[in-house]
Chain A
Amino acid sequence: MAQAIQIAQASGASATVADITIDQIVLGSVTIGQLNLQGAALDLNSASASLGSVRIVLTLDFQFDWWINLGFWSDSGNADLGSLSFALDLGNIAIPSLGNIPLSVPNIALASLNAAFAPISSIDLGGGAIAGISATSMALPKSGFTIAGLGISGVSIAGIQIPEATAAQVSFQDFHPNASVLFPTATLGPVQIPSAAAADVQTTAPVSFNGSASEQPLSLSLGVLGGSINVTPTAFVNIGSLALHGVALSGTVAQAILKNIGVPVDIHGINLNDVDITQVTATGITL
């Protein structure tokens, strides 16, 4: 007569697993402590631009440097000759074609990012070692055993040690798979940013800026006296509205470094094949 023994709880000293398969690992929301992009080069392409209500105030500052040289006496100095400012109302300006605008960024550091990874399917960790095992609802021995010429019912045994067993449910304190888990699309080398079109770029407020040209001297020498008039032009520019049409952006990143990556993991469908548990200690045995 084949008879199985029901055991309420058992524990084992150690076990080995020949092969471990996992149906699916679902990665939660990934947090990245810092993303460091090195050697970013971007090209901003815009097909055309339009400038509205362009006004310029052009200021000319005049400075006079003089000198006199009579041999036995000489002197020199400079004088502020004042300035002249006048208005230029250019109205609306259309720029039919713009060239590429290259942008070179040596280093970009972004902190506290969130990302989502796709689930990892069909994982084979190639076996591993397990320690500190506990199991419930075990059947011993794993293929049952036969008791001949003896009928027993309602027998309880306080404890027993059995060299090997199988279990319906197994939990373990430490699990060290032999193979590593690889994240999908973990690329850290040169990254090519594909060209991406964007909507028209429209400023929401007037744009003001100014710039000065280098000083332009007009020199005169009359032998014993002379001087130069220095003119410094400065342009104050105001653009009522600025629009870029047909904007596209493309570029490359030489290296991307991800630091302090945190990934919550849910593992589904773990199959442990050919589990051998040694030195099983069982309590609460019922025949």
Chain B
Amino acid sequence: MPHMDHAQFEALWQKVKELPLVRRAEAKPVQADLSLSGLLDHYMNMAAQQQTEGKLTQPDYNDLQAAVNALKVVLARIKDSELVADAMARNAAAIQARLARPGNPA
């Protein structure tokens, strides 16, 4: 942390002497595909790793792969990613409305 001289301190003091100075967060949104299709992709990656390590037999892995592929055909048809994204947006709006109520400490 660099040393702050008297002039720099005076500049900072003028900024904060009346009201606290707040520096806003600069967090970037976490990008994650939370649709069922996306979750199934993660699940199959895990299953492949387990099969490689011998914890999952090849026939069981093949049956799982076939079932997931069949399900993903349906999910693609109903566009489950858009369904999930729409649900997340509505939930976010509801959460913001709840947090914005008078008397809510948040």
Contact = CB atoms under 8 A, between A and B. Distances in A.
A253 B24 CA distance: 55
B46 interface: yes
B23 A82 contact: yes
A236 B80 CA distance: 53
B20 interface: yes
Contacts of A80: 25-27
Contacts of A89: 17
Given A79-B28, A87-B16, A73 B42 contact: yes
A270 interface: no
B30 A84 contact: no
Interface residues of A, number: 31
B24 to A, nearest CB: 5
Contact of B6 (A66, A72, A81, A238): A238
Contacts of B30: 66, 75, 77
Contacts, number: 81
A87 B25 contact: no
B27 A79 contact: yes
Contact of B1 (A66, A85, A87, A234): A234
Contacts of A72: 39, 42-43, 45-46
B87 interface: no
Interface in A35-85: 55, 57, 62, 64, 66, 70-73, 75, 77, 79-85
23 contacts: A57-B13, A57-B16, A64-B27, A71-B46, A72-B39, A79-B25, A79-B26, A81-B27, A83-B22, A84-B21, A85-B20, A85-B21, A85-B22, A86-B16, A86-B20, A86-B21, A89-B17, A208-B5, A208-B6, A236-B4, A236-B9, A238-B6, A238-B10
